[in-house]
Structure 1
Amino acid sequence: MTDTFIATGLACLIAHVFADFVLQTRWMVTNKHRPAVLLLHAFIVFALTGLALGGSLFLAATLALAHLAIDALKTYAVPSSQRDRLWPYLTDQLAHLATIALAAYLMPNAFAQGLWAEHAENLIASALLTTGLIAATLAGGPAVGGLMQPYKAQAQPDGLDNAGRIIGLLERALIYLMVMLGEPTGIGFLIAAKSILRFDTVSQSREISEYVIIGTLASFGWALLVAFATQSLINLL
């Protein structure tokens, strides 16, 4: 892999994670079956990719069209009852990653010819850290939620609205930061603290206990996987 390929691929990747997980609201996800909303999301992908590359609007437009096609296939081909499950989410994201890798392979000099080319060496580490943080926290939410979707109705513990989502975001962010800071042993204290705080809830029934354990392990596992992958890439580059 060349430095130009890596820079172009990373620029497209950070644009993708911002478009899919930061700027795509829940309303947009819910209404993506409407062509106008689908086109709006594709335009956001185009704008962010062009900005991240510092130009290269042709590559940005190509990726936006590919993103549009993948999202349209998921929206219209996958039944609505299955759309929030884990497999459509992972398939969708892997397809996006494959198009980004292919685009960077075919047009590796896109970033090198853009406005930010002279700052590439300084931007790569910060771009990787940011991409990893978004992937660990915001991208982990739909993954864990999709895994838990079949069990949600029968074992959902009572609590505040969106509390589980916020807790998941915070715990994955803390895990990511601990790994990045070289203090992964702190994750053990996080597990112990959550176990103590959740003791009354999980003691109510076996179903709720298993639901919380599976969700916690999935959330922790996702964050650890992304954090160590990000750390390895930073050390490699």
Structure 2
Amino acid sequence: MTLLLLLLSAHFIGDFYLQPNHWIADRHAHKARSVALYKHTAMHAVLAAIAFYFAGYDWSTLGAGTLVVAVSHGLIDYFKAGRTSTLAFVVDQLAHLLIIGIVCAVALNLTVGQLQGYFLSLRQPAWLIYLLGYLFILQPASILIAQVLAGHTARLQNTDSQSLGSAGRWIGYVERLLALSFVLVEQYTGLGFLVATKTVFRVGDLSKSKDMRLTEYMMLGTLISFAIALITGWSINWAHAVLN
């Protein structure tokens, strides 16, 4: 675990704190001919070596692990060069984290049977309940809210909108994820802060709109969204208590 934490720390430091913006621009522009790409790879080699050293590994493991982490990082960044979408960023980071996970598994001499045991432990109902809850509050909950508000939505379609399109859906995703997480860890103060924060911004927008229908529509959608997260969280906690 120590090695994993150190390598993850090294990765985030190298990718997000010690990589200037002009290195990123140079890599996107020149790809394999980018000097910045090789500087960035060398930086990760140094950071990975430091991680292995402080984790207490011998020089042979340090050298091999550092080489794998650095070379794989350079190759992944090379293939990502020129791609600046959110999807490309997520895939890039997942690839880096996968390599770090594999390196740690090899360094710790984890067998296939041990790894299989770790993954099989995720089949326990206690874990699956959490997975089911988070899956439900995203797309199924969005569809449910849309269905409940369908009649009101039709009446508001002809009004001028300054919305960012799908931004409202993503705001709903994030607020329900946070609300459910606060309920599961029984931090209702955080939930209250979340509700208050959204209310402040919503009141400002709605006071400018001068439209009672829009005010009621927004309030209804918000209340349904939080209600779904709360009921889901309480249901998960109840099911977890029953299973234990």
TM-score, structure 2 length as denominator? 0.46
Structure number with the bigger relative contact order (C-alpha 8 A, sep ≥ 6) is 1
TM-score, structure 1 length as denominator? 0.47
Flag the structure with larger Rg: 2
Q: Which has the higher helix share?
A: 2
